Amino acid sequence: MEFVEIEWNSKLYTLEIELRDRLLRAPLGLTFSSEELEAESTELHFALVDQDQVRACAVIVPLSRNLAKLRQMAVHEDYQRQGLGSMLIHSIESVLKQRGFQKIELNAREEAVTFYERLGYHAAGDRFMEVGIGHWKMHRQLG
C-alpha cells in the first residue's frame, strides 16, 4: 500500500472521485457537480494506492497557514476495518506537520466519530445536520 498525493484532474483523481462518489455521495442520492470538482483544484488530495487502485482517500483544505480541514474521507468497502483509514490519517498528519500546519479540523459523520476519537480527535460543540445526516465538529492539535 503506497501513500500518495494525488494531482487534481489526473487518472488517480478520477479513481478517487469514483470511490468518494460510491461511498459518500451515491448512498445519499447525491453526485458531484463539475463546479464542485473544479473547486477542488486548490485542495490537497491524499490516498493509499495498491495495484493502481485507490483503496482509501481524503481531501485537505488549507484554511490558513496553520489550520487544515479534512474532508471526504473514504476507505474502499472491501478494505474497511483493516487499519487503512488510520494509516491514511497518520500519513496525512505527518505531511501536514512537515508543511507547517498545527491543527486539523473536520466534520465527522456520527458513525465515524469513534474512528476519529481513536486517532486523538476531540468533538466540540453540538451535533449538527449536513447532507441529511448527523455530524460533530472534531479537531486535533498536531505535534
Ligand X SMILES: CC(C)(COP(=O)(O)OP(=O)(O)OC[C@H]1O[C@@H](n2cnc3c(N)ncnc32)[C@H](O)[C@@H]1OP(=O)(O)O)[C@@H](O)C(=O)NCCC(=O)NCCS
| Residue ranges in contact with ligand X by CB under 6 A | 23-24, 73-75, 80-86, 108-109, 111-112, 114-115, 118
Q: Which residue is nearest to ligand X (CB)?
A: 85
Least gap, CB of 107 to ligand X (angstroms): 7
The counts of H helices and E strands in the chain are 4, 7
Nearer to ligand X by Cβ, of 100 and 111: the residue is: 111
Least gap, CB of 49 to ligand X (angstroms): 15
Q: Tabulate helix, strand, coil % of the chain (nearest 5).
A: 40, 40, 25
Residue 50, C-alpha cell as written in the block: 495498491
Least gap, CB of 129 to ligand X (angstroms): 14
- The SS3 call for residue 75 is strand
CA atoms within a 13 Å half-sphere pointing along the CA-CB vector of 84: 23
- The SS3 call for residue 85 is helix
Least gap, CB of 85 to ligand X (angstroms): 2
Tell me the C-alpha distance between 135 and 112, whole Å.
Answer: 9
Nearer to ligand X by Cβ, of 37 and 131: the residue is: 131
Nearer to ligand X by Cβ, of 2 and 81: the residue is: 81
Nearer to ligand X by Cβ, of 97 and 118: the residue is: 118
